[in-house]
Structure 1
Amino acid sequence: MSTAAPLRIRPIEARDDAAIATIIRTVMPEFGACGSGFAISDPEVDWMHRAYAEPRSAYFVVERDHGDGHWVVEGGGGVAPLAGGDEATCELRKMYFLSSLRGLGAGAALMARCLDAARGFGFARCYLETLTGMDAAMRLYERSGFRRIDHPMGDTGHGGCNTFYLRELGDA
């Protein structure tokens, strides 16, 4: 990961909940994702640490060093079982970065960490939903081995999403 400032990825802690909620509620409107049907209205956003303490779930934060050891959470993402899906399929969930973190290689690094966690939980596939206009995110998904599918899977509750991807996890 080549960056202007050092980055680190670590599991979410309870003290990160407010920062992650703010990030999600800042980023979603940038892409017109407001109201019901989007993560912004998901009550889980306010208690991410607890939500991802569930079995076969993990959420990671990306911190950037702003100098003198002052690390700031600027993004995050995780995996969890796909609601309404089969036992072998997880969902890449709530992967969002502030604009200050984009373009620094954090997306690829976090994606690798999430997919490794999914494999470690025994999932065979990873599903995700996104929104038209999130072009940089879609390029990351495709570079990471996800292929576009023409229909939603499971019961995520994010009816506002209109683009769907799936990735087999057998290959690294």
Structure 2
Amino acid sequence: MTSLETRYQIVDLAPAHAEAFRMLNEAWISKYFALEPKDQAVLGDPQGEIINKGGRVFMAIQDGEPVGCVALMKMTDGGFEVAKMTVSETLRGSGLGRALMQRCIDAGKELGATRLYLETNSGLGPALGLYRAMGFRDLPPADTPYIRADVFMERRY
């Protein structure tokens, strides 16, 4: 067990985490962009918009407090979209983002996913570096409900 694993626990979203999932994501999105209608729908109802549709939400917990999160949203092509990934500002650079992404990769495999897909913004350099380091490759632009999305990536199984 690494020191990261002893400091953080990554668990499935529980009803008690829903507010933290919303607040963690609203904080980073609002810092760099504007909250969009799709954000509000997903963040306002992760159970209905993600989990009930075959997806997963993972929360990183440290000392009983949610400090990071990520969602896997089921896609119609057999893949899952990695979405709403963030880590508390004080923990950025700690390796927690990598641990959350690895949990997504492992879960995708467990779920029989054909690929993981994500949309992001070219201004988010550390995130892009993480995604590329974890095997994601750039795709051509795609239709998206997000105004901020200008980078599209996937990781095939």
Given that 1:37 and 1:161 are in contact with CA atoms closer than 8 Å, whether structure 2 keeps it comes out as no
Change (3 A) 1:26 1:125: same
In the other structure, the counterpart of 1:29 is: 30
Change (3 A) 1:38 1:28: farther
Change (3 A) 1:38 1:27: farther
Query: Gaps (5+ residues) in structure 2?
Result: none
1:32-43 matches, cutoff 5 A = 33-36=33-36, 39=39, 42-43=40-41
Deviates more, 1:42-51 or 1:120-129: 42-51
CA distance in 2, matches of 1:96, 1:25: 10
Number of residues paired by the alignment? 155
Cα RMSD, aligned residues only: 2.0
Of 69, 73, 78, which aligns to 1:80? 73
Query: Gaps (5+ residues) in structure 1?
Result: 66-70
TM-score, length basis structure 2? 0.88
Query: Do structure 1's residue 49 and structure 2's residue 42 form an aligned pair?
Result: no
What SS class does the counterpart of residue 21 from structure 1 fall into? Answer: helix
CA distance in 2, matches of 1:131, 1:142: 14
CA distance in 2, matches of 1:17, 1:35: 17
Q: Which structure dedicates a bigger proportion of its chain to helix? A: 2
Of 127, 131, 134, which aligns to 1:141? 131
- Which structure would you say has the larger RCO, counting Cα contacts within 8 Å and 6 or more residues apart? 1
TM-score, length basis structure 1? 0.81
Given that 1:74 and 1:100 are in contact with CA atoms closer than 8 Å, whether structure 2 keeps it comes out as no
Deviations 1:63-83, CA, capped at 9 Å, x for gaps: 122xxxxx210110021222x
1:116-155 matches, cutoff 5 A = 116-152=106-142
In the other structure, the counterpart of 1:166 is: 154
In the other structure, the counterpart of 1:96 is: 86
